[in-house]
Amino acid sequence: MASRSVPRRPSAAPLPDDESIPLHERVRYRGLLTVAVMGASIMQILDTTIANVAIPHMQSALGATSETVTWVLTSYILASAVAMPITGWLADRIGRRELFMAAVAGFIVASMACGAAQTLEQMVAFRFLQGVSAAFIGPLSQSVMLDINPPERHARAMSIWGMGIMIGPILGPILGGWLTESVNWRWVFYVNLPVGLITLAMMWALLPKTKSVKRRFDLFGFSMLALGLAALQLMLDRGAHQDWFDSIEIWIEMGVAISCLWMFIVHMFTAQAPLFSRKMLADRNLVTAMGFMVVIGVVMFASMALLPPMLQNLFGWPVIDTGIALALRGIGILASMWVAGQLLGKIDARWLVGTGLLTAAYSLWQMSHWSLMMGMQPVIISGLVQGLGMGLIFIPLNTMAFATIEPQYRTDGSSLLNLFRSLGASVGISIVTTLLGSNIQRSHEDLAAHVTNSSVALLDPSTADRFGIAGDAALAMVNAEINRQAAMVAYIDDFWAMMWVTLASVPLVLLLRPPKPGGPKASAADMGH
């Protein structure tokens, strides 16, 4: 009797013999795997902002100064910027499953070490290791979300992934502030342990293996890019402390950044096997998306850097109220991402990106009309509007960027998009904080020049010294009010500047190409990456 072959169900375990089947067809329990991938992504993105609120507490505990403690943040940013470009090469070399799990495990260990650090040197070293691990998690999470879903579900996958990316920086300060005040600043790092272990276990059980590919490593290209990015990040971080171009250090860092990045660009066009494929960089959608990522980094992260000190110092809001008001923009992000996911495929994605940019610009216009006499309502409304705009930009943009490139370039493309978003955030924060400082000084001078005995009732500034302590107190009150008014003017100027940057990027939408139905089809070899 002839034996009948019974079809076998695919196993939940990785299937090394099954490379002929696309990855999205080999995944069981896609929902659980999505939870694991998003857990890793949110854990990583939270740590870009969660530690900021704990810096004053770290300073006293680690015996650091106000200037040296900033290296806790700088080391993380530097490590991420340097390591992120090699994500694609490492994923090909050792397998994406292995690299993803190693990055999550490394992030957990580094987080525990950061929480246990006793000196500033230890903290900086452990934050550097944490940044290296985080550099791989971001791009890998995005490329895995694309590969475990068929092309028709890519818009929905990017909506889910984008929620974590966009909301993480908003929730970070709230969670960090609550942990710091309620427990201890070290729990800002210890909180990663349970999340990371659960995520790691789920990925080990559910994430299929991918075959490794021998790919030559472009050592010269990586060295030039790493040195250029490191010098650029150092310049942006140290500029405000060193009075920018009045410092020799800043000139040296700028020279190294320009020279190394220029050599990297020339090398990319002339090398036989460059770090990034020239075919990938010839994709118009991907290159345009990189430019938009800089804008997103500037608008979202720079505004998030400006608003907390503004609301607390100028308006006197408590930390909790500030966090809640800023977190409400997450509602706008969630709503618009859901809408964008539903509309993709039904209308031209470029219309969504353009509408999102105009909406974000409108929110900045609203913020440019704030005053010291306003309540909480304008902050909440403008935050919701800005969230709506950011959500409409992010999802269609990512979908279009990956719809026109071959699947084997997804990890490299994702690393570049994440890198440009981080660079946009760094550049944006540095520029707006520098403009803020200079505008405060200029506005203070202009306002102080108009303080006379005719403009200040019951007080003649020229004769206030006759009244001793009472006169000094009166002048101090006047000066404090001038400082508040000058700071408000400076913040408004920053909002105006960000609005014009956003509007200037709108014409770039015309460079995007609408994705073809289905997008590029993945071959067996492609899905092995």
Q: Domain locations in the chain?
A: 18-216, 219-274, 276-529
Smallest CA-to-CA distance from 96 within 360, 328, 415 is with 415
Residue 183 main-chain phi, psi, to 5 deg: -120, -90
Work out the burial of residue 354: count CB atoms within 10 Å of its CB; fewer than 13 is exposed, 13-18 middle, 19 or more buried: buried
If residue 439 lies in a helix (H) or strand (E), which one and from where to where? helix 410-448
DSSP, collapsed to helix, strand or coil, labels residue 29 as coil
In the block, residue with structure tokens 């929110």 = 363
Q: What is the CATH number of domain 276-529?
A: 1.20.1250.20
Task: Count the alpha carbons within 13 Å of 250 in the hemisphere toward its beta carbon.
Answer: 12
Alpha-carbon gap, residue 313 to 451, rounded angstroms = 23
Alpha-carbon gap, residue 162 to 304, rounded angstroms = 17
Residue 209 CB contacts under 8 Å (≥ 6 apart), including other chains: 14, 15, 16, 95, 97
Smallest CA-to-CA distance from 304 within 322, 291, 277, 292 is with 322
Q: Let me know if domain 18-216 sits in CATH 3.90.220.20.
A: no
Per-residue pLDDT of the chain (529 residues; tens, 9 = 90+): 444 444 444 444 444 445 556 565 566 777 788 888 888 888 888 877 777 777 777 777 777 776 677 777 778 877 888 888 888 888 888 888 888 889 999 999 999 998 888 888 888 889 889 988 988 888 888 888 877 777 777 777 777 777 777 777 777 777 777 787 788 888 888 888 888 899 888 888 877 777 767 777 778 888 888 888 888 878 877 777 777 777 888 888 889 989 988 998 888 888 887 878 888 888 888 888 888 888 877 777 777 778 877 887 788 777 677 777 777 777 888 888 888 877 877 888 888 888 988 998 999 999 888 887 888 888 888 888 988 888 888 778 877 887 777 777 877 888 888 888 888 877 777 788 777 877 777 766 666 665 555 555 545 555 555 555 654 555 556 566 677 777 888 888 888 888 898 888 888 888 887 765 544 443 333 333 3
DSSP, collapsed to helix, strand or coil, labels residue 396 as helix
- pLDDT tens digits, one per residue of 218-239: 788 888 888 888 888 788 777 7
pLDDT of residue 358: 92
Query: How far, in Å, are 301, 367, 430 from residue 325 at the CA level?
Result: 16, 14, 24
Work out the burial of residue 256: count CB atoms within 10 Å of its CB; fewer than 13 is exposed, 13-18 middle, 19 or more buried: middle
Contact between residue 154 and residue 519 where contact means Cβ atoms under 8 Å apart:
yes
Task: Count the alpha carbons within 13 Å of 107 in the hemisphere toward its beta carbon.
Answer: 35
DSSP, collapsed to helix, strand or coil, labels residue 110 as helix
Work out the burial of residue 270: count CB atoms within 10 Å of its CB; fewer than 13 is exposed, 13-18 middle, 19 or more buried: exposed
Quote the tokens at residue 295. 């804008």
Query: Between the CA atoms of 170, 171, 176 and 179, what dihedral angle is there, to the nearest 10 degrees?
Result: 160
pLDDT of residue 119: 86
pLDDT of residue 106: 92
Exposure pattern of 458-496 as b/e (b: 16+ CB <10 Å)? ebebeebeeeeeebeebbeebeeebbebbbbbbbbbbbe
The two domains 18-216 and 276-529 share their CATH topology (first three levels equal): yes
Contact between residue 356 and residue 502 where contact means Cβ atoms under 8 Å apart:
no
